[in-house]
């Protein structure tokens, strides 16, 4: 039989073209969707899976089916955490002031966009007062509180003040901000069910003011009750947060997207200090927001990627917010440029039940550049599961002294403690110098993205 060499050559050429062009498309179709949910002012003690007594069945099930990190760490306050999780950098590199993200920074949304994903953000912004900023930072669409209008102009709960894709929503006391945000996320998922997407959901709940939810008994008492502050509402606010997480999970299942969507649930810092949470073991834990104590930055971190992928469902490996961007990058098969100077490591191998790099310690550079009351807690420290060293030399055994009441003098921490102290001292010596009261990095504002100077409000 005589071969048609012309046809064969043509076939080989098409095959070669396919090899060149198809892989990126193939990889994009086989990468997971990403949903990052970050509750506002919710320490790990609020979640049932971490020993809390509030009603959180959907989040607990997410932990039961997925992977619960017992040692996940944020920053102690909202904006420092938001800057860190979005950019993958420690605050000493790019934090300029409270309520602002320097406009020369790249985020995990840029990573996803580069990989061909469509992106959205819904919830609390607090990173600069300009409606162009969400798109500038990599989000195709947005529905946000504290974007172009300050908190003093309107709250986030009943009658919320919300920017939605360039429009200020007209709301009444019948409208509830968290419902608007979660419905926006659900609609985004529905519209993009046939393409890859990343949704960032920095929740409005459970930050103060502690107000009724639509599921609270006093929501329907009278309209004025919806604006009456009471810490007793906190339990309902936690439950409503869980309810909204459940809505997202159900939407993914309804659209057959759940099995290939990575859901990350965390909190931006410790619980508000007005709240004391009863735990299942009978103890009570006061909120630690703004403090560098364990209860100020030890947050829930639960990751789920479908079902049946886990040999174990919890880990004591250390993770901090710088690890989220490289994790997303590996998941969407994107490279993070070295010029971005990202500090984190990917936890994707852990999520997949594989061996991979893990941390020996976490680092925090915390200087909120906020109010005098907040700034007094500024500090730089290294810690692991047991020991903690501040840059001023204070050293603590957290296993014995979680509230850091008794600094351990040099030479008095035992063989293991002193070994860890030396490791931390060496790590601190590698960093640029810093002392209490030093300013943040220079604020970067790009032409056309100037924030409204009247926005400045540090009440949050």
At 457 the pLDDT is 55
**Is the separation of the CB atoms in 265 and 37 below 8 Å?**
yes
| Domain limits, the chain | 30-362
Question: Token pair for residue 348?
Answer: 């994707």
pLDDT above 90 (res 16):
no
Question: Token pair for residue 76?
Answer: 């102690």
Helix 234-254 to helix 57-65 angle, to the nearest 10 degrees?
Answer: 50
CA distance 217 to 9: 75
Residue 153 phi/psi, 5° resolution? Answer: -85, -15
What is the pLDDT confidence band of residue 30, given thresholds at 50, 70 and 90? confident
Question: Token pair for residue 316?
Answer: 């004591």
* Average pLDDT over the chain, rounded to an integer: 93
Which of 233, 170, 179 is closest to 203 using CA atoms? 179
List all residues 6 or more positions away from 395 whose beta carbon is below 8 Å from its beta carbon: 387, 388, 389, 407, 408, 410, 413, 417, 421
Other CB atoms within a 10 A radius of the CB of residue 415 amount to 7
Residues, the chain = 460
List all residues 6 or more positions away from 199 whose beta carbon is below 8 Å from its beta carbon: 33, 34, 35, 36, 119, 120, 121, 122, 185, 188, 189
CA distance 91 to 431: 12
pLDDT in tens, 185-197: 999 999 999 999 9
pLDDT in tens, 127-159: 999 999 999 999 999 999 999 988 889 999 999
At 12 the pLDDT is 41
CA distance 244 to 183: 9
**Is the separation of the CB atoms in 76 and 290 below 8 Å?**
yes
At 234 the pLDDT is 98
What is the pLDDT confidence band of residue 10, given thresholds at 50, 70 and 90? very low
CA 52 to chain centre: 20
pLDDT in tens, 306-345: 976 788 899 999 999 999 999 999 999 999 999 999 999 9
- Torsion sign (Cα): 94, 99, 102, 107: positive
Look at the domain 30-362 and name its fold. Answer: Alkaline Phosphatase, subunit A (3.40.720)
pLDDT above 50 (res 237):
yes
List all residues 6 or more positions away from 49 whose beta carbon is below 8 Å from its beta carbon: 56, 59, 60, 63, 64, 68, 300, 302
pLDDT in tens, 252-277: 999 999 999 999 999 999 999 999 99
What is the pLDDT confidence band of residue 371, given thresholds at 50, 70 and 90? very high
pLDDT above 80 (res 351):
yes
pLDDT in tens, 49-94: 999 999 999 999 999 999 999 999 999 999 999 999 999 999 999 9
pLDDT above 60 (res 3):
no
* In the chain, % of residues over pLDDT 90: 88
Predicted model pTM: 0.93
Q: In what order do the strands lie in the sheet with 298-305?
A: 167-168, 163-164, 141-145, 118-124, 197-202, 33-39, 261-267, 298-305, 67-73, 314-320
Please give the average per-residue pLDDT across 356-362, as a whole number: 95
What is the pLDDT confidence band of residue 442, given thresholds at 50, 70 and 90? very high
Strands in 153-228 per DSSP E: 163-164, 167-168, 197-202
What is the pLDDT confidence band of residue 29, given thresholds at 50, 70 and 90? low
pLDDT above 50 (res 225):
yes
């Amino acid at each position: 039989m005589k071969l048609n060499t012309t046809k064969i050559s043509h076939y080989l050429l098409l095959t070669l073209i396919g090899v060149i062009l198809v892989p990126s498309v193939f990889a994009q179709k086989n990468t997971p969707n990403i949903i990052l949910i970050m509750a506002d002012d919710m320490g790990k003690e609020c979640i049932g899976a971490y020993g809390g007594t509030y009603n959180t069945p959907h989040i607990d099930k997410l932990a039961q089916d997925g992977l619960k990190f017992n040692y996940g760490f944020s920053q102690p306050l909202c904006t420092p955490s938001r800057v860190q999780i979005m950019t993958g950098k420690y605050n000493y590199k790019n934090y300029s002031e409270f309520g602002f993200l320097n406009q020369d920074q790249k985020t995990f949304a840029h990573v996803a966009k580069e990989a061909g994903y469509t992106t959205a953000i819904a919830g609390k912004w607090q990173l600069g007062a300009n409606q162009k900023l969400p798109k500038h930072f990599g989000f195709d669409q947005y529905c946000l509180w504290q974007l172009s209008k300050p908190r003093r102009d309107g709250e986030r709960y009943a009658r919320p003040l919300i920017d939605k894709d360039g429009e200020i929503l007209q709301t009444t006391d019948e409208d509830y901000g968290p419902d608007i945000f979660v419905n926006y996320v659900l609609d985004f998922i529905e519209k993009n069910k046939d393409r890859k997407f990343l949704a960032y959901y920095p929740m409005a709940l459970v930050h103060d003011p502690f107000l009724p939810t639509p599921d609270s008994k006093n929501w329907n008492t009278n309209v004025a009750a919806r604006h009456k502050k009471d810490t007793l509402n906190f339990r309902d606010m936690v439950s409503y947060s869980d309810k909204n997480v459940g809505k997202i999970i159900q939407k993914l299942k309804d659209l057959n997207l759940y099995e290939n969507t990575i859901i990350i649930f965390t909190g931006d810092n410790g619980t508000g200090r007005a709240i004391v949470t009863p735990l299942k073991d009978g103890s009570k834990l006061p909120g630690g927001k703004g403090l560098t104590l364990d209860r100020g930055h030890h947050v829930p971190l639960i990751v789920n990627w479908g079902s049946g992928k886990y040999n174990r469902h919890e880990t004591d490996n250390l993770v901090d917010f710088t690890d989220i961007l490289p994790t997303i990058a590996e998941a969407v098969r994107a490279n993070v440029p070295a010029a971005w100077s990202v500090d984190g490591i990917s936890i994707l191998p852990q999520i997949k039940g594989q061996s991979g790099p893990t941390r020996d310690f976490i680092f925090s550079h915390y200087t909120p550049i906020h109010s005098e009351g907040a700034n007094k807690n500024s500090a730089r420290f290294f810690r692991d599961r047991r020991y903690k060293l501040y840059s001023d030399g204070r050293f603590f055994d957290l296993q014995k002294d979680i509230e850091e009441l008794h600094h351990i003098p040099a030479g008095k921490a035992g063989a293991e403690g002193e070994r860890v102290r030396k490791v931390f001292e060496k790590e601190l010596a590698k960093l640029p110098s810093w002392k209490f009261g030093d300013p943040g990095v220079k604020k970067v504002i790009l032409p056309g993205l100037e924030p409204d100077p009247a926005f400045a409000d540090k009440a949050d």
